[in-house]
Chains A and B, each alone.
Chain A
């Protein structure tokens, strides 16, 4: 049965850490993440959670403390945003390279300078190549469900990688909506106690992460790539099984909405996916065959799903809440890269929107859709990347 609560995505992330019976939490404050670790502090101090809570002196130390704890064989959790995540960067590589299934909530926030506390995805997308699995959520319920699913996935011996569960600051982090919290026994049955792949063990002494010569290094990297491929296979299965048990399903790697017969598919990530659905409904009423594909898992990137989507459509419009300066948004680049070897590939129009918290509504997405439909009719995309709602 569980219970339905009305709370912010940040607090709900805290509920998820509690439900996952996390044993060590390392925490450092940063807006807009802070209320996650505040909620967890409350749970630990009133003994609703049997966990060690390490109040570290930086995000770098937060990640390293999680690495130390996970290496000692317990389930770990932390959360951060923007500059905190950037400070962790080095340790993110170390966590993935050490094959430790740490789960971290990333409350997306734009990077400075100049200072911004509002959302875009440039913080987590900049961590693309660290070997972390990356999930992007569209609502508060999905934040809870994805954190639980992330432990299930990361602790699978075919994966043993860490994961970020990303949610946009303020749009989700501080917004109250209802969410279902399943009964603890059901979560326990779904997510048994953590069984580590390796630990610092006095009875089986070993040096971990010591120097590796060129003779071996590449194989260790290849194993991470294999683990990512395994994750790509497992995520849809995990999502389906979770849906059967708890009632919510998100389409695995990509949440598709009215894509079957669509001439135009809007490709988005995060909360834009929800606004895209509204825009699709409106445009469908006007007779336009439009669909929405929300990339829920960015690493591993759902290449095959993108290829399938592209088979029967004329144009894809990617909307990035991110810019790789000097190029375009990552979602645009990677969508294009996924389709390069495909026959009869569709046109792809790239849009940049919502940086630093600039509002993106269903109307914004409608506008993008109409521009893309025009490209479709003309049979060409003249501007590779268009910035939406930019001041003149």
Chain B
């Protein structure tokens, strides 16, 4: 486990990048570089980072970065890792860094193909739960009830469970993370770096612009997402599911904060009715029951009795 003091001082996300104030993905990208160092090749499809990195002839990335087509991060990574193998440069880590639209919607095919082929790379989906770069349209990762520009009265469908879809590919490592839990994210990246094959990390990254909250509240929002149980931190290593702190203490739903605290801070949930909230509560209980089963009784018992 790396602690915050052990993080390198070097910055590979350079100053002057073009992210919005309070951008969750930018905070996490900076940490990703610190966690993985500069012997990496980034593959970035169309997403907010297309803009964040800055226009030619500038860049805010101090590591080599290949911009690539929206739906094709997995395929580009397969080509790069194959070439690195031919050139005997396998000590270089290949990282896909894509938004939720580029992952759960348009990019799911290439990602699924890359995972099935066992492409040796880390894929991070930074999920702000909508198409942010184009001005907040609904994606498959947008949660039920959320306002977007293409769901002005709130999305009527549920969020796609992408990490478990990736787990179904039987890849060696799947994890969730959140901008507000930096060391959890850093340690998951470090662990992923040491594993051969496809590693998938799904990062919930709060977005003040799209979620409609004050730019000072990004970290608070991410914490609330986890503390209310709306986002769950876990990892699946070689098929073994494990809840991570603090989610591992939230199997008992009385330990979770009320979901209304999370919704209340965000303009995008302003249209939620009492019925909507009740529906989400019911789904949340079902989801947690599923996680409890995945984690097995021992873990949940520990969590229930507070022994961790």
Q: Which of A69, A91, A204 interacts with B69 by CB under 8 Å?
A: A91
Q: Which of B72, B82, B117 interacts with A60 by CB under 8 Å?
A: B72
Q: Which of A24, A61, A94, A200 interacts with B64 by CB under 8 Å?
A: A200
Q: Quick one: given A205-B62, A207-B53, A209-B67, are A67 and B79 in contact (CB under 8 Å)?
A: yes
For the complex of A and B, the 3 pairs showing the least CB-CB separation, nearest first, are: A68-B79, A57-B113, A72-B83
| A69 CA to B79 CA, complexed, in Å | 4
Chain B residues 260 to 297 lying within 8 A of chain A, measured CB to CB, are: none
A234 CB to nearest chain B CB (Å): 26
B17 CB to nearest chain A CB (Å): 11
A55 interface contact, C-beta 8 A: yes
B41 interface contact, C-beta 8 A: yes
Chain A 57-83 near chain B by CB (<8 Å), digits 1 or 0: 110111011111111111010000000
A94:B69 contact, CB within 8 angstroms:
yes
In this complex, how many residues of chain B approach chain A with their Cβ under 8 Å: the count is: 44
| A67 CA to B69 CA, complexed, in Å | 11
Instruction: Kindly specify which of A210-218, A266-274, A327-335, A370-378 makes contact with the partner chain.
Output: A210-218
Q: Which of A62, A68, A94 interacts with B83 by CB under 8 Å?
A: A68
B77:A68 contact, CB within 8 angstroms:
yes
Chain A residues 112 to 153 lying within 8 A of chain B, measured CB to CB, are: none
| A216 CA to B56 CA, complexed, in Å | 8
In this complex, how many residues of chain A approach chain B with their Cβ under 8 Å: the count is: 43
A52 interface contact, C-beta 8 A: yes
A60:B54 contact, CB within 8 angstroms:
no
Sample 25 A-B pairs with CB under 8 A, ordered by A number.
Answer: A23-B86, A24-B83, A26-B75, A50-B86, A57-B116, A58-B113, A60-B72, A64-B68, A64-B76, A64-B79, A68-B66, A69-B83, A72-B80, A74-B86, A76-B79, A91-B72, A202-B38, A205-B65, A207-B53, A207-B67, A208-B64, A210-B50, A210-B55, A210-B59, A213-B56
A208:B66 contact, CB within 8 angstroms:
yes
| A117 CA to B92 CA, complexed, in Å | 43
- Which residues of A come within 8 Å of B, CB atoms? 23-24, 26, 50-52, 54-58, 60-62, 64-74, 76, 90-91, 94, 200-202, 204-213, 216
B18 CB to nearest chain A CB (Å): 9
A47 CB to nearest chain B CB (Å): 14
A54:B117 contact, CB within 8 angstroms:
yes
A68:B63 contact, CB within 8 angstroms:
no
Q: Quick one: given A57-B113, A205-B62, A211-B55, are A64 and B72 in contact (CB under 8 Å)?
A: yes
